[in-house]
Amino acid sequence: MKLLLISLISLNCFAGFPLVKFDDLYGEFEANQGRAYAKSAKYDLQQVKISHKEIEVQLNRKEKHLVIKDQSTTVELIFDFSFLNVFKSFAFDGVSAESNERKFNLDIENLDLNIEPRHYKTSNIVMSTDLTTINSDELPDGDIDILDGFVLNGRLAFKKLVFGKVSSSYIAQNLIAENPSHVSEIQDTLRGNKAIPLVLRNLNLSVHKGKIVGKILLDSWINANLYIGADIIHKKKQNMLEINLRKAKLGILSVRRFVLKEIRELKVDAITVKGNTILIDMGRVVSSSSSL
């Protein structure tokens, strides 16, 4: 069995995207470690071309190790897992990924996320980026990674995200605080103190040169589309993602303050909200409630 040790700051740090292809990947990640399995995998990393069948993937965030192996080959990579820092644990299945130097596509059938104190279930996720229409002089200096590509020309979509139940009085209180001229409409829609099952459907979010536009259906007692507008910057030297939420509208109602409040109350160390700006520190520990 051959062992290759490849020293990489990040798997995706090249002049173009890495050449990878994974099919039917499933697994879980918890307490800094994870394990996944896939039907097949192919990747081309710094002159190393490897193809696997029936693979096992092991992740160790503390030691920054990613091990990919089948019956005859083991590849050990030194890998930066900073992008996992916002999650305490997650599980996934039906994952396929494929990329070339200018395109990256990721499809996930099912994903369960644990960002304390809440648990989320989502399905039919698509994340993609395509730099074929971006001029070379518009690309960032130095190596470009997948997050750079997503900020320049990306798309994120999913079919359904289940939040669980939320108090109707809590929603009404926050909507009235932000929309004092629409008290009667809000009270008529959200009477009493019911536990409303909150389900988000049909997210369609696009990013082009740092501008985010998207909408999603709140399929619950409210049953209305949420429209989002934001600016996004990837600050590579600071290892920081900065998102300025310009607009969040639920029909005629503004929910920008409500959305920012909910993000702030996640109490994830890696995420800070300052005014209308969401800062995601890709290098920090998961959360203050976690002992990772």
pLDDT band of 9, cuts 50, 70, 90: very low
State the Cα–Cα distance between residues 161 and 118, nearest whole angstrom: 13
Task: Check: CB of residue 205 under 8 Å from CB of residue 212.
Answer: yes
Facing residues of 73 across strands? 2
pLDDT digits (tens, 9 = 90+) for 263-288: 898 777 788 999 999 998 876 533 33
pLDDT band of 85, cuts 50, 70, 90: low
Can you point out the beta strands (E) in 131-184? 154-167
State the Cα–Cα distance between residues 53 and 129, nearest whole angstrom: 26
Residue type, 76: E
State the Cα–Cα distance between residues 15 and 52, nearest whole angstrom: 25
β-bridge pairing 73-78 and 65-69: antiparallel
Find the range with the poorest average confidence among 81-85, 86-90, 228-232: 81-85
Name the residue ranges covered by the structural domains of the chain.
Answer: 2-281
Q: Report the SS3 class of residue 137.
A: helix
Residue type, 62: K
pLDDT band of 156, cuts 50, 70, 90: very high
What is the mean pLDDT of the segment spanning 148-176? 90
Which residue has better confidence, 209 or 266? 209
Angle (CA) 246-159-110 rounded to 5° is: 115
DSSP states of 195-215: EEEEEEEEEEEEEETTEEEEE
pLDDT band of 66, cuts 50, 70, 90: low
The per-type count for the chain, helices as H runs and strands as E runs, is 4, 17
pLDDT on residue 45:
59
What is the mean pLDDT of the segment spanning 212-227? 88
pLDDT band of 11, cuts 50, 70, 90: very low
Q: Report the SS3 class of residue 186.
A: helix
Q: Is the peptide bond before 117 cis (omega within 30 degrees of 0)?
A: yes
Cα torsion for 41, 60, 266, 124, to the nearest 10°?
A: 10
pTM here is: 0.77
Residue 135 has pLDDT above 70, yes or no: yes
Residue 238 has pLDDT above 90, yes or no: no
Q: Report the SS3 class of residue 266.
A: coil
Residue 10 has pLDDT above 50, yes or no: no
